[in-house]
């Protein structure tokens, strides 16, 4: 945790910055790099009744809230990493989990 879901980001390009991004995010969140999962979700975009080969780069972050400052720095680090691989525009959105509603192997996280 945090879990990052990348849509509209080519897998091979993400691989080239994934390790560096994990290090950046670990420093921001003050945790180990093994706390992060990054998944590239392959999608088919639809526009005007047609398949569209373009899928807007979008990153959804599932995590436990860490405050505005950490959230801002996290989003900036993700955005900068995407820019490093030539993705000029992207969006990052956070989905916040409550620790008392999150279970690991059937047991509450708290």
Does residue 72 have a pLDDT over 80? yes
| Average pLDDT over the chain, rounded to an integer | 94
The predicted model gives 31-38 an average pLDDT of: 96
When pLDDT is averaged across residues 67-78 and rounded to a whole number, the result is 98
The CATH superfamily label for domain 3-108 reads Macrophage Migration Inhibitory Factor (3.30.429.10)
Q: Is 86 left (phi over 0), alpha (psi -120 to 50) or beta?
A: left
Of 1, 18, 7, 2, nearest in space to 85 by CA:
18
Q: How far apart are CA 43 and CA 65, in angstroms?
A: 27
Domain ranges of the chain: 3-108
pTM for the full predicted model: 0.91
The model's pLDDT over 13-34, given as tens digits with 9 standing for 90+, comes to: 999 999 999 999 999 999 999 9
């Amino acid at each position: 945790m945090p879990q990052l879901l990348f849509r509209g980001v080519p897998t091979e390009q993400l691989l080239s910055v994934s390790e560096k991004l994990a290090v950046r995010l670990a420093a921001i969140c003050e945790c180990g790099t093994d706390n992060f999962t990054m998944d590239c979700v392959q999608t088919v975009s639809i526009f005007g009744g047609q398949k569209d080969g373009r899928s807007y780069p979008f990153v959804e972050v599932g995590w436990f809230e860490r405050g505005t400052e950490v959230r801002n720095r996290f989003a900036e680090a993700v955005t900068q990493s995407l820019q490093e691989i030539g993705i000029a525009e992207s969006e990052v959105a956070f989905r916040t989990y409550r620790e008392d509603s999150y279970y690991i192997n059937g047991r509450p996280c708290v």
